[in-house]
Chains A and B, each alone.
Chain A
């Protein structure tokens, strides 16, 4: 069964450092997403991406965050200057169509900011 692949599985970074989280969506999917889940809390929407541009973003997704699809297969989330409160599981997801039949989530990257 096709998978969404995320790397790394765990990233530890110092506060103020830049991090890039990587995702390889399912190959024929067109819509891409990032969500995050702080330990013990809800899964929260960050951003959706289609046709090489952001289609929607949440209040969390401020100027410190950016997304890119650099080469037609990878989908990345960059956090420019990490804060302690950015520590969370970050999930990438993809879907085939705009009609919402549910996403396939990747296995996640656990980001720990120290």
Chain B
């Protein structure tokens, strides 16, 4: 069973601080890694994807991937109240046309 694990939270961060969200995965054959944001009652919205080890930055968001440790993270700089949502880590399985999702981390940014 291919698993993706996230701390369900809630994670509470003051406005303007850095929020750090973590995810581990079990399948070493995983090749693509995604972070989605999901507001309550809404559909997942793609924030970032990363394929290679290291960091990838897009505005206030940085995704980090360490395939040796089977670990992927998302940093949100200068957190805003509008960043309050559930963040879903998803992993693309090698040879499969599907994503496996973690249970999500609920993030709250406190003004």
CB within 8 Å of B: which residues of A?
A: 31, 33, 41-45, 48, 50, 55-56, 58, 89, 91, 98, 100-108
CB-based contact B96/A42 at 8 Å: no
A-B contact pairs, 20 of them (CB 8 A): A31-B97, A42-B102, A42-B103, A42-B104, A43-B88, A45-B98, A45-B100, A58-B98, A91-B43, A100-B99, A101-B32, A101-B49, A102-B46, A102-B49, A103-B99, A104-B46, A106-B43, A107-B42, A107-B43, A108-B43
Residues of A contacting B: mostly: strand
CB-based contact A55/B97 at 8 Å: yes
CB-based contact B34/A33 at 8 Å: no
- The total number of A-B Cβ pairs within 8 Å is 49
B101 at the interface (CB under 8 A from A): yes
B81 at the interface (CB under 8 A from A): no
Query: Of A33, A91, A101, A107, which one neighbours B98 at CB under 8 angstroms?
Result: A33
CB-CB nearest in chain B for A31:
B97
B45 at the interface (CB under 8 A from A): yes
Q: How far is the CA of A12 from the CA of B35 in the complex (A)?
A: 31
